[in-house]
Amino acid sequence: MKEQQSFKKKVRLVFTMICIIVAVSELTAILGMLGLGSKVMQLVFHSIIFLAVIIASTRGYKVLVEALVDPLIEMDAAVKGLAQGDLSVEVTYEGNNELGTLADSLRQTSKMLKELLDDLTFILGEFGKGNFNVKSKNRNAYIGDFKVLLEGLLAMVKDFSGTMRNIDNAADQVSEGSNDLSMSSQELADGATNQAASIEELLATVTDVTNQVLENTKTTDKAHDNAKLIGEQAKVSQYKMKELTEAMNTINETSSEISNIIVDIEEIASQTNLLSLNAAIEAARAGEAGRGFAVVADQIRKLAEDSAASAVTTKELIDKSLREVHKGNEITEQTADSLNNVIKELDNIVQAVADIRVASDKQALSVKEIEKGFEAISAVVESNSAAAEETSATSQELSAQAAALKGMVERFQLCD
- CATH no. for 167-410: 1.10.287.950
Nearest to 9 by CA among 59, 48, 65: 65
Residue of higher predicted confidence among 280 and 18? 280
pLDDT for the residue numbered 287: 65
Cα–Cα distance between 19 and 27 in angstroms, integer? 12
Helix 59-83, helix 38-56: angle, nearest 10 = 70
Cα–Cα distance between 290 and 287 in angstroms, integer? 5
Provide mean pLDDT across the span 197-221: 73
What does the DSSP assignment read for 268-284? HHHHHHHHHHHHHHHHH
> If you average pLDDT over every residue of the chain, what do you get?
70
C-alpha dihedral (321, 323, 328, 334), degrees to nearest 10:
170
Where in the chain are the domains?
167-410
pLDDT for residue 66 is more than 80:
no
Residue of higher predicted confidence among 27 and 12? 12
pLDDT for residue 76 is more than 70:
yes
Cα–Cα distance between 85 and 116 in angstroms, integer? 13
Segment of 63-77, 149-163, 333-347 carrying the highest mean pLDDT = 149-163
pLDDT for residue 39 is more than 50:
no
Phi-psi group of 130: left, alpha or beta (phi > 0 → left; psi -120 to 50 → alpha; rest → beta)? left
Q: Indicate the pLDDT class of residue 2, thresholds 50, 70 and 90.
A: low
Cα–Cα distance between 194 and 408 in angstroms, integer? 40
Please, what is the Cα angle at 299 between 298 and 300, to 5 degrees? 90
Q: What would the pLDDT profile of 352-374 be if each residue is shown by its tens digit?
A: 777 777 777 777 777 777 767 76
Q: Indicate the pLDDT class of residue 82, thresholds 50, 70 and 90.
A: confident
Distance of CA 252 to the CA centre of its chain: 88
Cα–Cα distance between 360 and 33 in angstroms, integer? 144
Segment of 136-145, 237-246, 315-324, 379-388 carrying the highest mean pLDDT = 136-145
Find out whether 255 and 336 touch, Cβ atoms under 8 Å. Answer: no
Find out whether 99 and 91 touch, Cβ atoms under 8 Å. Answer: no
Segment of 48-57, 111-120, 314-323, 396-405 carrying the highest mean pLDDT = 111-120
Q: HSE, CB side, 13 Å, CA atoms: give it for residue 17.
A: 6
pLDDT for residue 177 is more than 80:
no
Q: What is the 3-state secondary structure (H, E, C) of 341-358?
A: HHHHHHHHHHHHHHHHHH
Q: How far, in Å, are 180, 188, 293, 302, 409 from residue 175 at the CA level?
A: 9, 19, 148, 135, 14
pLDDT for the residue numbered 21: 55
Cα–Cα distance between 43 and 25 in angstroms, integer? 15
Provide mean pLDDT across the span 312-333: 73
Q: Indicate the pLDDT class of residue 73, thresholds 50, 70 and 90.
A: confident
Nearest to 251 by CA among 180, 154, 325: 325
Provide mean pLDDT across the span 292-319: 69
pLDDT for residue 241 is more than 50:
yes
pLDDT for the residue numbered 37: 43
Helix 145-286, helix 291-410: angle, nearest 10 = 170
pLDDT for the residue numbered 36: 42
Nearest to 338 by CA among 223, 244, 250, 237: 237
**Count of CB atoms within 10 A of residue 186's CB?**
17
- As a whole-number percent, the residues of the chain with pLDDT over 90 amount to 0
For the ranges 30-34, 172-176, 187-191, which has the lowest average pLDDT? 30-34
Provide mean pLDDT across the span 236-240: 71
Instruction: Write the DSSP symbol of residue 131.
Output: B
Find out whether 227 and 349 touch, Cβ atoms under 8 Å. Answer: yes
